[in-house]
């Protein structure tokens, strides 16, 4: 397992984010008597899950697996980043996007720059895998151009323009299908001992950049968008398919992660079909389902599986069932409205309740399994 002083932060932030998400779902049922600002709570939920849980967890995995140790100075920067994360969540809940939330999110981003530069200098091991990790670091810096563009766009009174939305999508894409995807693939490649060469690194990096074209569909209509998105989708699918044999000889958990990766690639291919793209563009629930599928269906199970701790099958079943229900309801919402008398928001709340219970139980198990030694060396 991993040192508790590193591992506890993503696990705790993951439970906090899940709890905030549960409160949001309960509020959407109309049963919450306390008045809340939905956008403020939503911002807190998304930031703590993406940065407090997912970014933290993958960063810990990468640091443990691709460096000799986490030095004391880097550890202090890591702690400073956690303090900013906690302050950011509180600020978002009480004021939304305002002075303090922007201040702490900016500090968090700048500290992450320092930490990742220090990580870059300490990377070691297979040079192609190290190159993959470096590509993920580059994507992190690249993604931050999105948030930086928001201020100037607001000053220019372009908040309601397509460019403002694209600045947000730019950040989300190069985090979800940039940093996180690349780091996850590098970690999987090391665990499975995949034969990675420079052409593979170039291919996967290029495909993920081209996949950004899919987000342009939300704001623009041009044949080149489908073309580049289709090329990126096909490249990613063919590349992942190339590694099916090594994954077939792995544990069931790693095989299942691989199958989800293939599913992600297939969904991206489907997204190049015009009528599918139109369906997603005009249905916000499907967009939420896609983001939740990446987060809850791919990255969270990967983190748990990679941690190496045995998780009881009943917890996996409860978690996966809750994810399946939420995805099904979000995608087929109109079907539920037409044929089922129960409110879709009520169904989503109970599904998220199961998700919160299973996620919290698993995180408590993982926390109790973490080593308490004071060393920050490789686990």
pLDDT digits (tens, 9 = 90+) for 80-113: 999 999 999 999 999 988 899 999 999 999 999 9
State the chain's mean pLDDT as an integer. Answer: 89
Residue of 50, 266, 57, 54 lying closest to 172 (CA atoms)? 50
Which pLDDT belongs to residue 21?
94
Give the Cα separation of 142 and 229 in Å (integer): 19
Give the Cα separation of 348 and 321 in Å (integer): 12
The DSSP secondary structure of 173-203, one letter per residue, reads HHIIIIIIHHHHHHHHHHHHT----HHHHHH
Domain definitions of the chain by residue range: 1-122+288-379
In whole angstroms, how far apart are CA 35 and each of 28, 32, 41, 91? 12, 7, 11, 17
Which pLDDT belongs to residue 144?
95
The pLDDT tens digits for 234-279 are 999 999 999 999 998 888 889 999 999 999 999 999 988 888 888 8
- Residue labelled with tokens 């399994």: 369
pLDDT at 336 > cutoff 80: no
**What is the arithmetic mean of pLDDT over 59-74?**
92
Which pLDDT belongs to residue 376?
38
**Which of 148-162, 250-264, 363-377 reaches the highest mean pLDDT?**
250-264
The pLDDT tens digits for 293-327 are 999 999 999 999 998 788 899 999 999 999 999 99
Structure tokens at 14: 């993951």
The pLDDT tens digits for 113-142 are 999 999 999 999 999 999 999 999 999 999
pLDDT at 15 > cutoff 60: yes
- For residue 178, name the pLDDT band (cuts at 50, 70, 90): very high
Give the Cα separation of 184 and 302 in Å (integer): 8
Half-sphere exposure of 107 (CA within 13 A, CB side): 18
Percent of the chain whose predicted confidence (pLDDT) is above 70: 94
- For residue 346, name the pLDDT band (cuts at 50, 70, 90): confident
Structure tokens at 166: 């694209």
Which pLDDT belongs to residue 218?
78
For residue 206, what are the contacts with CB-CB under 8 A and spacing of at least 6? 232, 235
Percent of the chain whose predicted confidence (pLDDT) is above 90: 66
pLDDT at 221 > cutoff 80: no
Residue of 74, 63, 58, 72 lying closest to 123 (CA atoms)? 63
SS3 213: helix
Give the Cα separation of 106 and 94 in Å (integer): 18
- For residue 54, name the pLDDT band (cuts at 50, 70, 90): very high
Q: Give me the residues paired with residue 69 across strands.
A: 377
Phi, psi of 99 (to 5 degrees): -55, -55
Structure tokens at 137: 């670091």
pLDDT at 379 > cutoff 60: no
Which pLDDT belongs to residue 16?
97
In whole angstroms, how far apart are CA 368 and each of 109, 199, 229, 305, 309? 30, 41, 43, 16, 10
């Amino acid at each position: 397992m991993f040192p508790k002083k590193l591992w506890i932060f993503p696990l705790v932030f993951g439970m906090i984010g899940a709890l905030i998400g549960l409160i949001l779902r309960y509020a959407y049922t109309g049963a919450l008597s306390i008045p809340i600002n939905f956008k403020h709570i939503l911002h807190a939920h998304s930031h703590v899950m993406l940065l407090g849980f997912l970014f933290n967890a993958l960063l810990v995995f990468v640091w443990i697996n691709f460096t000799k140790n986490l030095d004391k100075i880097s550890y202090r920067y890591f702690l400073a980043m956690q303090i900013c994360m906690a302050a950011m969540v509180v600020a978002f809940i009480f004021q939304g996007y305002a002075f303090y939330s922007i201040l702490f999110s900016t500090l968090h981003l700048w500290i992450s720059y320092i930490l990742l530069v220090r990580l870059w200098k300490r990377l070691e091991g297979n040079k192609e895998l190290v190159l993959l990790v470096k590509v993920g670091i580059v994507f992190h810096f690249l993604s931050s151009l999105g948030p930086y563009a928001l201020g100037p766009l607001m000053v220019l009174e372009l908040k309601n323009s397509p460019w403002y939305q694209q600045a947000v999508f730019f950040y989300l894409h190069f985090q979800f299908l940039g940093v996180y995807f690349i780091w996850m693939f590098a970690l999987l490649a090391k665990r499975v001992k995949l034969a990675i060469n420079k052409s593979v690194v170039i291919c996967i990096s290029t495909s993920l950049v081209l996949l950004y074209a899919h987000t342009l569909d939300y704001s623009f209509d041009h044949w080149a968008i489908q073309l580049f998105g289709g090329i990126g989708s096909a490249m990613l699918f063919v590349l992942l398919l190339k590694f099916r044999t090594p994954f077939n000889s792995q544990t069931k958990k790693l095989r299942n992660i691989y199958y989800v990766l293939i599913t992600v690639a297939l969904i991206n291919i489907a997204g190049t079909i015009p009528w599918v793209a139109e369906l997603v563009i005009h249905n916000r629930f499907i967009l939420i389902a896609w983001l939740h599928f990446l987060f809850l269906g791919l990255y969270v199970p990967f983190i748990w599986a990679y941690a190496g701790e045995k998780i009881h099958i009943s917890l996996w079943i409860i978690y996966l069932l809750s994810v399946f229900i939420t995805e099904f309801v979000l995608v087929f919402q109109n079907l539920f409205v037409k044929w089922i008398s129960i409110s879709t928001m009520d169904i989503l709340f109970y599904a998220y309740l199961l998700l919160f219970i299973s996620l919290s139980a698993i995180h408590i198990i993982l926390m109790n399994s973490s080593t308490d030694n004071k060393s920050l060396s490789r686990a």
